[in-house]
Amino acid sequence: MEPENHTKATLVDLLDRILDKGLVIHADLVVSVAGIPLIGLNLKAALAGMETMVKYGMLKDLDESMRARERDARQQKEALLPNGEAVLFSAHGGWYCSEGLHPAWRYGHLYLTRERLFVYQHPFERMLFEAPLKTVARFGVPEGAASEGEEIRELHLVMVDGRMEKLRCGEASRLRECLAQRVEAGVSLDKGVWKSIWQGNRPGDDALPMETVCK
């Protein structure tokens, strides 16, 4: 096969040709010193679109496993969000579990929908925390949680029964904005109110109205 010179060919044409037809590299390299071979390298590589790879029997098992994984993830998401429940916010995040012998943060994926807020661990298919928005009475950032100019990473919820839940994610500011569109209760509570809640005291109506204020 004689090489052809296409003076008008572009980089896009080259990439299209490689993905469609494929590119195979086969090279043997030997490094020697004073005529004595010291290092040998045998290089074999193939580059092509996945359709071409599978056509020639390459990476077929990997292609099938990745497609199966994507199907499973899609089915899991459909089960997690039934009836086309719309997601308003999602990010990697955590929920502080205060129960048990060792209270600690438990991490998963945090979701805010039009109806609820929850943290889910996909690898273990485990719901860590779930709260319908109608059960959220107040939410906010405790005083001193972030210095000026720093990103807010924690958001605390006060439930209608007086419990407080702590959530953490790298985009807590955006979560607060999205939550404010669903719950008309965004406030910055002072340390005294948070301390009272953590000690198990239900704050009075003047300090923290507890009625449900969801839209």
Tens digit of pLDDT for each residue in 49-62? Answer: 888 888 888 888 88
The verdict on 98 and 167 lying in the same domain is: yes
Would 127 be classed as within a structural domain?
Answer: yes
Name which of 64, 182, 163 is nearest 114 in CA terms: 182
The verdict on 89 and 191 lying in the same domain is: yes
Would 153 be classed as within a structural domain?
Answer: yes
| Statement: residue 192 has pLDDT above 70 | no
The verdict on 173 and 94 lying in the same domain is: yes
The verdict on 89 and 183 lying in the same domain is: yes
Q: Tell me what the mean pLDDT of segment 105-113 comes to.
A: 94
Would 77 be classed as within a structural domain?
Answer: no
Q: Tell me what the mean pLDDT of segment 84-110 comes to.
A: 90
Q: How many domains does the chain have?
A: 2
Round to whole Å and give the CA distance between 201 and 137.
15
Domain that holds residue 95: 84-198
| Statement: residue 211 has pLDDT above 90 | no
| Statement: residue 187 has pLDDT above 50 | no
Write out the two tokens for 106: 């438990």
Tens digit of pLDDT for each residue in 128-148? Answer: 999 999 898 888 876 655 555
| Statement: residue 196 has pLDDT above 50 | no
CA angle 134, 139, 145 (to 5 degrees): 160
The verdict on 88 and 194 lying in the same domain is: yes
Round to whole Å and give the CA distance between 194 and 201.
10
| Statement: residue 185 has pLDDT above 60 | no
Would 130 be classed as within a structural domain?
Answer: yes
The verdict on 39 and 138 lying in the same domain is: no
Q: Tell me what the mean pLDDT of segment 68-82 comes to.
A: 76
Q: Tell me what the mean pLDDT of segment 203-209 comes to.
A: 42
- 3-state helix, strand and coil shares in percent for the chain, rounded to the nearest 5: 30, 35, 35
Residues of the chain with pLDDT > 70, as a percent, come to 75
The verdict on 93 and 42 lying in the same domain is: no
Round to whole Å and give the CA distance between 201 and 207.
12
Q: How far apart are the first and last CA of the chain?
A: 72
Would 203 be classed as within a structural domain?
Answer: no
Tens digit of pLDDT for each residue in 15-73? Answer: 888 788 888 888 888 998 888 888 998 988 888 888 888 888 888 888 888 888 888 77
Write out the two tokens for 11: 């980089």
Q: Which amino acid is at 85?
A: E
The verdict on 90 and 193 lying in the same domain is: yes
The verdict on 51 and 149 lying in the same domain is: no
Per the DSSP assignment, residues forming a β-bridge with 45 are: 25
Would 74 be classed as within a structural domain?
Answer: no
Contact 156, 67 (CB under 8 A): no
The verdict on 38 and 127 lying in the same domain is: no
Per-residue pLDDT at 55 = 85
Would 166 be classed as within a structural domain?
Answer: yes
The verdict on 52 and 103 lying in the same domain is: no
Q: What is the mean pLDDT of the chain?
A: 78
3-state DSSP of 55-115: HCCCCHHHHHHHHHHHHHHHHHHHHHCHHHCCEEEEEEEEEEECCCCCCEEEEEEEEEECC
Per-residue pLDDT at 206 = 41
**Where does the pLDDT of residue 1 fall: very low under 50, low under 70, confident under 90, or very high at 90 and above?**
low
The verdict on 188 and 93 lying in the same domain is: yes
- Residue 95's CATH number: 2.30.29.30
| Statement: residue 7 has pLDDT above 70 | no
Of 88 and 4, more confident = 88
**Where does the pLDDT of residue 186 fall: very low under 50, low under 70, confident under 90, or very high at 90 and above?**
very low
Per-residue pLDDT at 130 = 95
